[in-house]
Every structure is written in structure tokens, then in C-alpha cells.
């Protein structure tokens, strides 16, 4: 273990190096303090582009960066790749799988996980999209289904193999469904001889009356229309009743046989929030104080997807990356001010205020919707806005350049570069 971990300087422990934890490490600066950031992964992941890895548009290294390398120019920050196991707030102690850390301040930025509305048994048959492994597994299963269809004599099996169901019509579900429809109709269509991948069914199931229900109704309706034009079967006001191996049963009694069922319907906070002894919302998110500290624990803060925070207008701060980054910056300022002050605990702390920069979702080539303040964009204009924003926020120049190159290549050739699956990666489904 590094000597730095045992120095007497104030120690700030940051758990998680996603958007919240990484932003804290980048923004926080105080000559008296040292920071230790812990993540189970060795990389920071740009989750907004995960669906492109799952649908063979980008490869994994293009949307991830080693945390160490991002923070290499921060000599007061130590990066530990380890699993957070328990939190003892009374003793100011965090237990990792290989060591124990003590802190003066703790910043919790552990994000969320896929949740299945109380049906954890569905996870086996309908994977969610949260990590690089999830994306690579989905990509493998989808591509493998087409490889198997090419040699499948049974028409019923062909129908099942060529059906993909996406559950959940939020931004992730819409982006996945659109990208899968394009993959089958534009990219794979030209590569097979015995089957026609463009006849594949992509079904998007959404319980509410429209997809993208967080957006203005006209934009949501436009997104549905753009999806339909791409060939996605959009089923709104439809709930899933059960999911088993390659089989989805809907509340209207319909059964869809689908080789690939993908879950994009709901997320919950990290299970570690249950150890905190504070009030949680239904998704397990921490109900933080206005300054983002835990009630009764002024030295412990939580940011990002694991937080439940109501804005002044009564609406919750959404679980998006700008919210996690803004919250992390807010906490960094509070801790810097307190370390600089001789009367740390007496400093009044500012309440966090979320600045909504807008929301957007891409549906396919030249197809997207965006809402930026009063401005609403659809189609090509929204798609260009989406490309620019995602390129700007992607971490690292090399990744920006690689992604721009891939997108340009795909735009002009109608091909996707990340379609290699290896035999060891591809065991047939049971
Ligand atoms: C598929 C997908 C698409 C999305 N698209 C968009 C989008 O287009 N625009 C947008 O703004 N937002 C989008 N989001 C949401 C956005 O990614 C999140 O709001 C953001 O990542 C939240 O940041 P965070 O720091 O709270 O959590 P995360 O970024 O999830 O980071 C949490 C970190 O904690 C680590 N961790 C968790 N548990 C442990 C443990 N026990 N031990 C050690 N480390 C641990 C994880 O490895 C991870 O690095 C998307 C999310 C997903 C999943």
C-alpha cells in the first residue's frame, strides 16, 4: 500500500469513478488534502454510448478510459481498483475487499444497477445494459442469433432467432431499438445469403402511453414515428407479465418468442445504500440534505444516480450524467471551502441547484429528438446536436478521434466496424 494512504493530511475517500466520482477528483483541489478514489473497474465508462457497443457501432475501448490515466496528472489522488463491501459511517471506515480505508470526508458516487420491478428472476433471460460486459454479451448474443439463423432449417426457430424484444421505452430502450433496427436492415442485410436480416422483428415494449415520456409529448410522438419508420414495432401502454428463456408474455395475453430479450426498463441505486441507515426512496436512492450530505452525517456526501433530490419546482433531479457531474462539483466546492476555513463546521453550506441543459435521444442515422430549453429539434438537426454533445463529453482525445472516425466510416459505408465475435465468446443458448 502507498505511504500516501497513511499520511496525516485530511483524507477524502471517493467511492466510484463514474461521472460523479471522476468529476469530484478532477474538480477538487486543496493543498492540505489527499484523495483516494475506489472503483471495482479499472476504467471510467461513458455509459451514454454503451448501446453503440451493444449494437456493434463502436468497440469497447472507444468508450472507456483507464481511471489511472485520466487522473495521472493529479499527484494527490490515489486510485484503487477494489470492491467496496461495507460502510461503517459511525467509525468513518470503508471496507474494501482487500483493505480498510478511514476518512475525514466520504463522497459516495456508486451509481445504480439494473432492476426488474421485483422480478430478479427475469435478469437471466433479459440482460440489462450497465457495464462493458453487458454490452459485449448483448452484442455477441444478437450477432450469434443471425449466424445461427443462416443454418437453421426450422421456420419457427428462424422466427424466434430473428426477433429481438427491447423492454422499456426510455432513452436507452429507444436508442437500442433504433440501433438494432438499423443493424438488421442496413448493415447485416448485405452480409447474409440464405436469410434476409432486414425481415428481423425489433419490438419495443413500453408501459406508458408513449416512449420518452420525460420529453414534451410532440417530441415523444415524433420519436415513436421515427422508430416506426426504421421498422421498429412500438408497443406502448403494454406491460410485461413474465419473462422466461426466449419468451415474453404481455399483459394482454400475447406471447412473443424472441431469441434476444433486452431490459431497459428500470434502474435502482447501488445496494450499498441499504447500509447507510438513512431514508431511501423506492429505488433505494439516498434522500440527501440540500447540501447533498447525508442527514446527520455532515462529512458524508452522495452524488449521482444513487441520490434522490427534489428541485425547487418539486421535480426530482434526473439520473443523467450532467446531474452527477454538477453534484460532484458542488460537493468539491463545499469540502474545499471547509478545509480552507478555520471554523469548518460553522460555515453555512449552499444548497445544490440543478441546471438542466436539456435532454436528447438518438434513434438512428439522421434521426433523433432533442429538447434544449424552449428549443425542440427532431430528425437530422437533433442527430447532429446529439453527435456533437456526445463527442464533446467523451473523455480523452484519443477516444474522441476514434469515435469520430468510426461514425464517419459508418455514415458513408453503411457498415459497422465492431462485429467480431470469437468462438470462445459464443456458447449457444440453452
Ligand atoms: C445505457 C445507459 C445510457 C445512458 N445514456 C445517458 C445519456 O444519453 N445521457 C445522460 O446524461 N446520461 C445517460 N445515462 C445515465 C448516466 O450514465 C448516469 O446518470 C451517470 O453514469 C451517473 O453517474 P454516477 O457517477 O452516479 O454513476 P456511474 O457513472 O454509474 O458510476 C458508478 C461507479 O461506481 C462503481 N461501483 C459501483 N459499485 C461499486 C462497488 N461496490 N465497489 C467499487 N466500485 C463500484 C462503478 O464501477 C462505476 O464506475 C445512461 C446510463 C446508461 C446505463
Domain residue extents for the chain: 3-40+82-114+268-346, 120-265+358-425
96, 110, 352: which to mutate for ligand 1, most atoms within 8 A of CB?
110
In angstroms, the CA 275 to CA 390 distance is 35
According to the model, what pLDDT value does residue 349 have?
94
Residue ranges in the chain whose pLDDT is less than 50 = 1-4
111, 270, 317: which to mutate for ligand 1, most atoms within 8 A of CB?
111
Separation of 77 CA from ligand 1 center, angstroms? 21
The packing angle between helices 397-413 and 379-393, to 10°, is 150
pLDDT in tens, 100-116: 999 999 999 999 999 99
CATH number for 120-265+358-425 (one of 3.50.50.100, 3.90.550.10, 3.30.390.50, 3.40.140.10): it is 3.50.50.100
SS3 364: strand
**Matching CATH topology for 3-40+82-114+268-346 and 120-265+358-425?**
yes
SS3 256: strand
Phi/psi of residue 370, nearest 5 degrees: -150, 145
* Residues forming the active site: 175
Q: Say which CATH topology domain 3-40+82-114+268-346 has.
A: FAD/NAD(P)-binding domain (3.50.50)
Task: Give residue ranges with CB within 6 A of ligand 1.
Answer: 16-21, 38-41, 47-48, 50-51, 83-84, 109-111, 129-130, 171-172, 270, 272, 304-305, 319-322, 324
According to the model, what pLDDT value does residue 407 have?
86
pTM attached to this predicted model: 0.93
In angstroms, the CA 142 to CA 52 distance is 13
Contact between residue 320 and residue 341 where contact means Cβ atoms under 8 Å apart:
no
Separation of 195 CA from ligand 1 center, angstroms? 38
Separation of 21 CA from ligand 1 center, angstroms? 10
According to the model, what pLDDT value does residue 107 have?
98
Contact between residue 175 and residue 51 where contact means Cβ atoms under 8 Å apart:
yes
13, 45, 48: which to mutate for ligand 1, most atoms within 8 A of CB?
48
Pairing outcome for strands 307-308 and 260-263: unpaired
Nearest Cα residue to 399 out of 22, 8, 46, 105: 46
Separation of 417 CA from ligand 1 center, angstroms? 25
In angstroms, the CA 88 to CA 13 distance is 13
pLDDT in tens, 177-197: 999 999 999 889 888 999 999
Q: Whose CA is nearest to atom 4 of ligand 1?
A: 48
Phi/psi of residue 55, nearest 5 degrees: -110, 20
Separation of 272 CA from ligand 1 center, angstroms? 15
Ligand 1 closest atom vs CA 111: 27
Q: Whose CA is nearest to atom 6 of ligand 1?
A: 48
How distant is the alpha carbon of residue 289 from its chain centre? 25
In angstroms, the CA 244 to CA 150 distance is 25
Amino acid at each position: 500500500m502507498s505511504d500516501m494512504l497513511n499520511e496525516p493530511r485530511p483524507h477524502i475517500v471517493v467511492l466510484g469513478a463514474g461521472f460523479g466520482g471522476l468529476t469530484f477528483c478532477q474538480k477538487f483541489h486543496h493543498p492540505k488534502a489527499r484523495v483516494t478514489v475506489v472503483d471495482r473497474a479499472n476504467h471510467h465508462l461513458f455509459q451514454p454510448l454503451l448501446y453503440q457497443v451493444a449494437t456493434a457501432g463502436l468497440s469497447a475501448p472507444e468508450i472507456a478510459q483507464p481511471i489511472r490515466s485520466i487522473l495521472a496528472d493529479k499527484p494527490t489522488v490515489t486510485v484503487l481498483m477494489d470492491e467496496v463491501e461495507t460502510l461503517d459511517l459511525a467509525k468513518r471506515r470503508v471496507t474494501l475487499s482487500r483493505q480498510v480505508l478511514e476518512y475525514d470526508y466520504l463522497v459516495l458516487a456508486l451509481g445504480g444497477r439494473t432492476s426488474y420491478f421485483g422480478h430478479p428472476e427475469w435478469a437471466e433471460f433479459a440482460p440489462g445494459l450497465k457495464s462493458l460486459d453487458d454490452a459485449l454479451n448483448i452484442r455477441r448474443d444478437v450477432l450469434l442469433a443471425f449466424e445461427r439463423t443462416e443454418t437453421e432449417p426450422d421456420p419457427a426457430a428462424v422466427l424466434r432467432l430473428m426477433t429481438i424484444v427491447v423492454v422499456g421505452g426510455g432513452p436507452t430502450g429507444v436508442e437500442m431499438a433504433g440501433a438494432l433496427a438499423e443493424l438488421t436492415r442496413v448493415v447485416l442485410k448485405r452480409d447474409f445469403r440464405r436469410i434476409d436480416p432486414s425481415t428481423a422483428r425489433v419490438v419495443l415494449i413500453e408501459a406508458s402511453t408513449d416512449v420518452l415520456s420525460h420529453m414534451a409529448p410532440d417530441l415523444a410522438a415524433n420519436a415513436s414515428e421515427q422508430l416506426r419508420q426504421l421498422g421498429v414495432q412500438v408497443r406502448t401502454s403494454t406491460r410485461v407479465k413474465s419473462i422466461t428463456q426466449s419468451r415474453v408474455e404481455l399483459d394482454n395475453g400475447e406471447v412473443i418468442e424472441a431469441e434476444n430479450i433486452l431490459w431497459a426498463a428500470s434502474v435502482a441505486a447501488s445496494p450499498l445504500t441499504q447500509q447507510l441507515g438513512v431514508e431511501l426512496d423506492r429505488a433505494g436512492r439516498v434522500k440527501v440534505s440540500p447540501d447533498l450530505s447525508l442527514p446527520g452525517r455532515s462529512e458524508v456526501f452522495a452524488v449521482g444516480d444513487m441520490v434522490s433530490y427534489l428541485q425547487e419546482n418539486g421535480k426530482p433531479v434526473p439520473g443523467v450524467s450532467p446531474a452527477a457531474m454538477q453534484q460532484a462539483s458542488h460537493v468539491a466546492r463545499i469540502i474545499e471551502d471547509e478545509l480552507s476555513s478555520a471554523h469548518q463546521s460553522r460555515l453555512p453550506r449552499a444548497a445544490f441547484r440543478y441546471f438542466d441543459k436539456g435532454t436528447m435521444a438518438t434513434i438512428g442515422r439522421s434521426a433523433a429528438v432533442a429538447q434544449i430549453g424552449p428549443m425542440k429539434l427532431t430528425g437530422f438537426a437533433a442527430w447532429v446536436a446529439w453527435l456533437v454533445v456526445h463527442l464533446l463529453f467523451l473523455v480523452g482525445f484519443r477516444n474522441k478521434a476514434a469515435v469520430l472516425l468510426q461514425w464517419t466510416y459508418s455514415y458513408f459505408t453503411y457498415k459497422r466496424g465492431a462485429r467480431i465475435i470469437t468462438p470462445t465468446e459464443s456458447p449457444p443458448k440453452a
